[in-house]
Structure 1
Amino acid sequence: MARDYQDEIAHWAEKLFYPVSLKGKVPKKDATSKKLGASTAKAFASHARIRAQIARTTRRTPEVMVKITNRLGAGKGMSAIREHLSYISRNGKLELETDTGEPLTDKETISDYAHELKHQVRGRPIPELSNRREAFNIILSMPAGTPPDKVREAAREFLEGEFGGKHRYCFTLHTDTDKPHVHACVQAAPLRKGKRLNPRKADLQCWREGFAEQLRNIGIDANATARRTRGETRQTQRQGAHHAGKRRPLQFVQLANSVEWPRAYRSTLVAWEQLAKAMRNSPTETDREAANQIEDFVAGWQPAVPRKR
């Protein structure tokens, strides 16, 4: 039996926003189904949520950034952890906040906190040097212009929801660049019974989703989509103008067949094409207008231009 337009919209939106690479992982508030393929609608929680995600993406809502710093030796032993705490606190000049809400206001309180971390792990204390990660250094960031206090507030809520009661952590806000960002140091060992923290690519995407949702909860428009969903790579050039008010034929087929365009991006273009088609078949005017917005969104893409060597 052929899918109706609602099922088609959900099907293609899943491919764009929850690709196979996530291996069944979805943000906690959407985790009504452990397996995405079992129910697309459940994965998104509702048709309204799908449409909200499409709208955020096509209007190019500011994207959150969440990453783990992978500097050589990062988090491998107490020596590296102390060094990182000193760095993010600017040698005790910036206040750190712990998972229990305790402020670490100077070198002495930060040193005491590090001592607690060292001896809080079940079994032997954390060694000074280790071959494995004993802590993960995470950065949560938003583009320039975002109120720094809102970034800190959203980061606090995200960290509490993701790690509270499970892992020790501390964090602080940095405003030394035009992009306000929070540095967090999260202990790998669990507080109680449980698994050590060992994040993968899918976990990072879920963290991005969670951070973006916390920002939206406090009134900051934020999105968390993959680069390829937005038609962006480090080599891609995007047209500055969207030709507002001008409608032009979609170039899905031409771009999708372009030899310069990576295979993953060609499949993304096909998904956007099918999503626009499904929304065109909707009886609601807002869905049909969303199809127009998808056309404008994709019309601004260009095939990747090879870098000069």
Structure 2
Amino acid sequence: MREEEGVLPLPSLMEAWRPPAGGKRTLRGAYVRIKPGGSGGGAGRPMSMGQAEARAKLERIVRKAPEVMVKVSGKQYGAHHVAEHFGYVARHGKLAVRSSEGEVITEPGRLKAIAQDWAMLDEAMNEHGRERPTSLSLVLSMPGGSTDAETLHDAAQAFARILFEGSHGYMLALHTDTDHPHVHLTVATEGADGRRFNPRKADLHHMRETFAHELRARGVAAEATPRRARGHVQKRVRSPALHLDARLGAEGRRLNLEQLNELRAQSFVRGADQERRAEDVMALARQKQIRGAYAEAAVALAGTGKPDDHALSNDIAGFLADMPPAVSRRLARAREILQAARRPQDRTRPAQDGSAGTDERQPQGRDRER
């Protein structure tokens, strides 16, 4: 609609939603570079969208539409390892697996034959004999209760066709025996044209965008925004670290991620200058910029006088109020340590008028720390 042109501050919103840069470099045409099937630019290209598309995305973000998950769950080396993985995703013959050729497979023997084909292609193209994965396994899912298994499966099949049809073989299986349905997608790393599939962070983001786009095309409110676009600056603890911690725990040892963070926080508290690290300062500046983009959009919408715009402006305000503080885990823990150290002093500090110090059993109004 022409009357809505120019309402949203597109440049600042596009910067707030900017996907991770880069992706897998193309070396002599030897590597696949993922291109999105939905909104946003290709790897390394800026996002571009109009007012209507930006408003729809803004509504999904601030009203907290479910975020899709696309993650690399593992790598398989050689025919035997690939066949074992196929057996796992097929629940050893209990589930059907769909191939990139549209074949629905239930026989373990057929799965082993495909695993052998993938391994033979990889070995034939491996000129230097380096150890490298024959396949990569991905998991595609949505938060529990946000979509039904059939829709998820259909969107995952479309996702696989868009990204890999005509280039890489893949096998796809739906699992419904957990808290929420998810799809296992196994992709042959060696392509029919000699290109390797080896996604990086930016590629995975574009894959998330593609999957979210296919879900929305099927009536599911789904988003794929970077964590920073939702105000999160603390890095997520990666699955390999969690799995290693669990494995060491079973052996009577621990990786002790919490202890490592505690040591870093204690070191910060004991430091003479207590300066923030460069990445902490950058995280604070980045979130300030992102907050500013949403606040600018809220003001612009509130000024149109339209009920729908006013409601969205209020939703943005609530989204900003719920945004987490821009501090790392180390700084968050250091703040807790410092506050705990100050509380006993606050309780016993004599009052200015000579009366007894404050007692935590007596209500005292607002906390000094706030």
Query: TM-score interval w.r.t. the shorter chain?
Result: 0.7 to 0.9
> Are residue 78 (structure 1) and residue 87 (structure 2) matched?
no
CA deviation vs aligned residue, 1:258-302 (integer Å, no higher than 9, x gap): x89942433322332233334445576544442222111111223
> Are residue 27 (structure 1) and residue 44 (structure 2) matched?
no
1:47 is displaced (CA, Å) by: 1.7
The answer for the alignment partner of 1:213 in structure 2 is 213
Partners of 1:53 and 1:31 in 2: CA distance: 11
Please, which runs of 5 or more residues in structure 2 have no aligned partner? 24-32, 237-279, 338-370
CA deviation vs aligned residue, 1:29-83 (integer Å, no higher than 9, x gap): 446788745xx6xx22x3211111001111111111000014xxx2233333222
Higher alpha-carbon deviation: 284-293 or 138-147: 284-293
Q: Do the aligned partners of 1:5 and 1:282 also contact (CA within 8 Å) in 2?
A: no
Letter in 2 for 1:28: G
Select the residue among 48, 53, 57 that pairs with 2:52. 48
* Secondary structure, counterpart of 2:183 in structure 1: strand
Letter in 2 for 1:115: Q
Counterparts in 2 of 1:160-199, with a 5 A limit? 160-192=161-193, 195-199=195-199
Letter in 1 for 2:183: V
> Are residue 136 (structure 1) and residue 128 (structure 2) matched?
no
Partners of 1:7 and 1:173 in 2: CA distance: 42
Select the residue among 315, 320, 324 that pairs with 1:293. 315
Partners of 2:315 and 2:202 in 1: CA distance: 28
Instruction: Describe the shift of the 1:211–1:270 C-alpha distance in structure 2 as closer, same or farther (beyond 3 A).
Output: same
* Secondary structure, counterpart of 1:215 in structure 2: helix
Letter in 1 for 2:88: Y
Letter in 1 for 2:112: S
Q: Do the aligned partners of 1:121 and 1:191 also contact (CA within 8 Å) in 2?
A: no
> Are residue 69 (structure 1) and residue 73 (structure 2) matched?
yes
Q: Do the aligned partners of 1:25 and 1:34 also contact (CA within 8 Å) in 2?
A: yes
Q: Percent sequence identity over matched residues?
A: 30
Letter in 2 for 1:272: Y
* Secondary structure, counterpart of 2:76 in structure 1: coil
The answer for the alignment partner of 1:271 in structure 2 is 293
* Secondary structure, counterpart of 2:221 in structure 1: coil
Counterparts in 2 of 1:248-267, with a 5 A limit? 262-263=283-284, 264-267=286-289
Higher alpha-carbon deviation: 19-28 or 204-213: 19-28
Q: Do the aligned partners of 1:174 and 1:181 also contact (CA within 8 Å) in 2?
A: yes
Higher alpha-carbon deviation: 8-17 or 99-108: 8-17
Q: Do the aligned partners of 2:34 and 2:207 also contact (CA within 8 Å) in 1?
A: no
Partners of 1:150 and 1:176 in 2: CA distance: 16
1:169 is displaced (CA, Å) by: 0.2
> Are residue 59 (structure 1) and residue 81 (structure 2) matched?
no
CA deviation vs aligned residue, 1:125-157 (integer Å, no higher than 9, x gap): 899x96222211100001111211111111001
Per the normalisation by structure 1, the TM-score is 0.76
* Bigger radius of gyration among the two: 2
Letter in 1 for 2:14: E
What is the number of equivalent residue pairs in this alignment?
A: 274
Partners of 2:193 and 2:35 in 1: CA distance: 24
Per the normalisation by structure 2, the TM-score is 0.64
Partners of 2:184 and 2:323 in 1: CA distance: 33
Instruction: Describe the shift of the 1:292–1:124 C-alpha distance in structure 2 as closer, same or farther (beyond 3 A).
Output: closer
Counterparts in 2 of 1:83-94, with a 5 A limit? 83-94=84-95
Instruction: Describe the shift of the 1:31–1:79 C-alpha distance in structure 2 as closer, same or farther (beyond 3 A).
Output: same
CA deviation vs aligned residue, 1:163-187 (integer Å, no higher than 9, x gap): 1111000010111211211001001
